Amino acid sequence: MLLKELRYVLAVHEHNSFTKAANSLFISQPALSKYIKGLENDMGIKLFEKRGNRFRLTYAGQTYLDAAHAMMNIFDKMEQDLLTNNPSRTLLKIGTTTFRGSYIFPKILPKYLELHPESEIMLFEEPAERLEKLLVEGTIDLIIVKLPLAMPNIAYVPLFEEHILLALPKTHIHANKSVKKSGCKYPWIDMKYFHDDLFVLLKPGQRTRQISDNLLEKANIVPKRVISTNNIETAVRLASTIGVSFIPELFAIGNFDSSPPLFFCIGEPITTSTFVLAYRRNGYLTRYAKDFHNLVVEYFQSTIDE
């Protein structure tokens, strides 16, 4: 009996709904329904029956569930014994992009180490495409990156939405052309004013550069002059003096040595990016990785609720 099938049946029972169970497992509802149907056909029994809008266990399903709980307990004990006798299994390997890590890790890791003071941690701060490759190879347990993902066989849970902002000097000739717009705490400005500007762009291969290129294409802008950099903080500082740049909202809240640039929402609809916590689809997560996963989700959910 596969561990995956145990988890799938337990999830349907817990949520009394294939849709909610699928969401908790980070798979589609049709895929879960197909899997359970195939399992029932293989065993020649019905595990669930529909009553109203809910799914209830049949007698055979209850028997299966009791065995599933027992087997999961055995698996959990085996995992704990392996961890106890193999200290290297306490290693947590997590990754995010270089500058994002300096903001995220100090907020999450203290709570994780309170829970697992014995754990060792290896941080990977790399470009998003490199992180995806390391994740799929099994080098990293979890990564925090923004969509879209480039590689297959990666599952994820959404964490938060972030505005992509246009940054420009306070002295810019069009700085006063903004308007208020619902859904953004920054003023909104039309991209049509910036056809002739010097753009400070991140180098190709970075997610923010992909978004920047899409925004320029939608606005029918082909920059006449471009400064390319790998460093988002360099882009922010240059945008305060000589150029126009696309900046993730997080970096609009930083410390500035001199006068910061002005920040504006852009796009119709307003441009945002989605950050996710990603892991290998159908891959195995240690107890340490699972606990870090839960802490990250809880942390970002609490910041959204605030």
Tokens encoding 254: 């930083």
For position 258, what pLDDT does the model report? Answer: 65
Bridge partners of 244?
Answer: 199
pLDDT for residue 1 is more than 60? no
Q: Give the phi and the psi of residue 186 in degrees, each rounded to 5.
A: -100, 155
At 253-302, the pLDDT tens digits run 765 556 789 999 999 888 888 999 999 887 778 888 989 999 999 888 87
Return the H-helix or E-strand segment holding 76: helix 59-85
For the chain, list the domains and their CATH numbers. Answer: 3-85 (1.10.10.10), 87-153+275-305 (3.40.190.10), 161-273 (3.40.190.290)
Which of 33-47, 83-97, 164-178, 222-236 bottoms out in mean pLDDT, i.e. has the lowest? 83-97
At 45-92, the pLDDT tens digits run 898 888 877 788 898 889 988 888 888 777 766 766 665 555 556 789
Q: What percentage of the chain carries pLDDT values higher than 90?
A: 39
List all residues 6 or more positions away from 273 whose beta carbon is below 8 Å from its beta carbon. Answer: 146, 147, 161, 162, 164, 207, 208, 211, 248
Q: How far is CA 156 from CA 27, 32, 294, 298, in A?
A: 9, 16, 13, 15
